[in-house]
Amino acid sequence: MAMAASACKGLLLVALAAAVLSTASATLQYDFYSSSCPKAEDVVRNATMKIIAGNPTMGAAFVRLFFHDCFVKGCDASILLDQSNSNPQPEKLAIPLRGYDAVNTIKAAVEAVCPGVVSCADILAYAARDSAMISGGFTFAMPGGRRDGVASDLNDIPASLPSPSMQVQQLISSFGAKGLSADDLVALSGAHSFGQTHCSFVTPRLYPSLDKTMDKAFGAALQNECPRRGPGGAVLNNNNVTDPNALTNQYYKNVIAGQVMFTSDQTLTSSAATAKMVQDNAANPVAWMARFAGAMVRMGGIEVLTATQGEIRNFCGATNSGS
């Protein structure tokens, strides 16, 4: 019975992702590499599984990289580009993200099978999807066909990326500008059930006085971890209530309890509409998984490059021109 339930869950998520593809991008396709590189998704999955087995924190890192990539200039792997003459101030210089070397490892594995065929943008999308499978226990189909951009500029970030200090209406507007709904906002916020952050992002809610929306015991524990004059770079688990490496709907229970790190998390209870979504996701884990899957597919269609646009990078950290 358990195996049958698991199979039904997987079919539900795949069906939902298929249903929402048209709202993400009509130019992306499922099984995009079925002819040009039939083993592409299997190679990405196997490499991603090996990486997360060695370091369980990497599941959250892949999902976060995918989010940052898609929200800034679209899902074009611009977040992966290193500093160069043509990109003197790439996005990666502005935000302390992890996973760049891991993506390069996956890319090398794919290149060994199908050189010059699979984009870094698609590899990142597949790795994020596979992170949900490995760290969350559910999977879904992710369309492919994205091509890699040739530009990356950290100055594009402020107007594109939602901030941890945003209030709910600001978040809804930020997601809306990318073609995503309030439902998508709440569903994707569930990724804060796993991963790491730094004290510098949390201390505004701790000092000079504890944020009134934060659980007092939870806040006191954070104050111990993040002293007022302590190092802002100290690492915290996004969710120290449960397993910080598990992608689950526990996040929504934490939001209800006032045990979350960011203003952008707690503010989801300040609007009747988003508060209802939080309650529903907390009570219905399989429904949340389906919503998360659909939102990931839609996010994966933001401002994509396809057909002859962009390029297929040989190395994810550099454009093919090398400049």
> Could you tell me which of 293, 260, 300 has the C-alpha nearest to residue 278?
260
pLDDT recorded at residue 19? 44
How many other C-beta atoms lie within 10 A of the C-beta of residue 303?
Answer: 16
Render pLDDT for 201-240 as a digit per residue (tens, 0 to 9): 899 999 999 999 999 999 999 999 899 886 656 667 655 5
Residues of each annotated binding site for substrate: 162
User: Which residues are annotated as catalytic?
Assistant: 68
Q: How confident is the model at residue 26 (pLDDT cuts 50, 70, 90)?
A: low
Spatial distance between the Cα atoms of 253 and 86, rounded to a whole number of angstroms = 46
Q: What is the average pLDDT value for the chain, to the nearest integer?
A: 90
79 neighbors 161 (Cβ within 8 angstroms): no
Residues of each annotated binding site for Ca(2+): 69, 72, 74, 76, 78, 91
- Cβ burial of 230 (10 Å; 0-12, 13-18, 19+) is middle
Average pLDDT over residues 111-122: 98
Render pLDDT for 241-298 as a digit per residue (tens, 0 to 9): 567 899 999 999 999 999 999 999 999 999 999 999 999 999 999 999 999 999 999 9
Question: What amino acid occupies position 190?
Answer: G
Average pLDDT over residues 171-197: 96
Residues of each annotated binding site for heme b: 192
